[in-house]
């Protein structure tokens, strides 16, 4: 009976445990919307959340609000959220205006050539999250967004920040 209860409770949770066996994330270099160079290698020692999104993606916009809040709360503790926009030429101008309007503290990269997408999100799903641990390894991925998913992400980030 207790095993059935545990299985039921786990199925309700959208949180997934951090991967036990983790693969190296590799690296990338890009410019954020302010023109600053962002290199994944420079963020070793920090937990990094790569958030793949587009301006036309309604669930992405809902998730980004929570991601920026998480950056504000946990940035000083070693979290770096990087929002990676995949907008094409027809909506490209919306990326910087949205980031400016929302006053996001997280880094925003417009991945026009989709190089970061190709490396970390080859199917192009939006929204798509990749959590990279302090050692540069992929610890967790998550596709889609539904209200409440931000709690699972916050718990995942907290666990990753607590790891040595």
Domain total of the chain: 1
CB of 107 closer than 8 Å to CB of 38: yes
> Does residue 106 contact residue 68 with C-beta atoms inside 8 Å?
yes
Question: Residue 122 domain-assigned?
Answer: yes
- How far is it, in rounded angstroms, from Cα 91 to Cα 38? 23
Q: Nearest Cα to 49, choosing from 73, 27, 85, 82?
A: 82
- Domain-located, residue 5: no
How confident is the model over 96-116, as pLDDT tens digits?
999 999 999 999 999 999 999
Q: Return d(Cα 83, Cα 106) in angstroms, integer.
A: 7
Question: CA-to-CA distance for 65 and 127, rounded, in angstroms?
Answer: 13
36 assigned to some structural domain: no
How many Cβ atoms are within 10 Å of 32's Cβ, its own excluded?
Answer: 16
| Domain interval for residue 99 | 46-162
Distance of CA 130 to the CA centre of its chain: 5
Q: Is residue 15 situated within a structural domain? A: no
Q: Does 39 map to a domain?
A: no
State the CATH number of the domain containing residue 87. 3.40.30.10
In a domain, 115, yes or no: yes
pLDDT at 18: 74
pLDDT in tens, 22-79: 999 999 999 999 999 999 999 999 999 999 999 999 999 999 999 999 999 999 999 9
């Amino acid at each position: 009976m207790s095993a059935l209860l545990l299985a039921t409770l786990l199925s309700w949770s959208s949180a997934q445990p951090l991967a036990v066996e983790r693969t190296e994330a590799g690296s990338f270099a890009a410019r954020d919307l302010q023109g600053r160079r962002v290199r994944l290698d420079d963020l070793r020692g920090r937990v990094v959340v790569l958030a793949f999104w587009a301006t036309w993606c309604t669930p992405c916009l809902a998730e980004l609000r929570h991601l920026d809040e998480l950056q504000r709360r946990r940035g000083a503790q070693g979290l770096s959220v990087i929002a990676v926009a995949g907008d094409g030429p027809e909506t490209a101008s919306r990326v910087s205006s949205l980031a400016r309007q929302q006053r996001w503290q997280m880094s925003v990269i417009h991945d026009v050539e989709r190089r970061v997408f190709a490396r970390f999100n080859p199917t192009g799903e939006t929204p798509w999250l990749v959590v990279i641990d302090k050692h540069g390894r992929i610890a967790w991925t998550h596709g889609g967004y539904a209200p409440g998913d931000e709690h699972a992400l916050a718990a995942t980030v907290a666990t990753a920040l607590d790891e040595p």
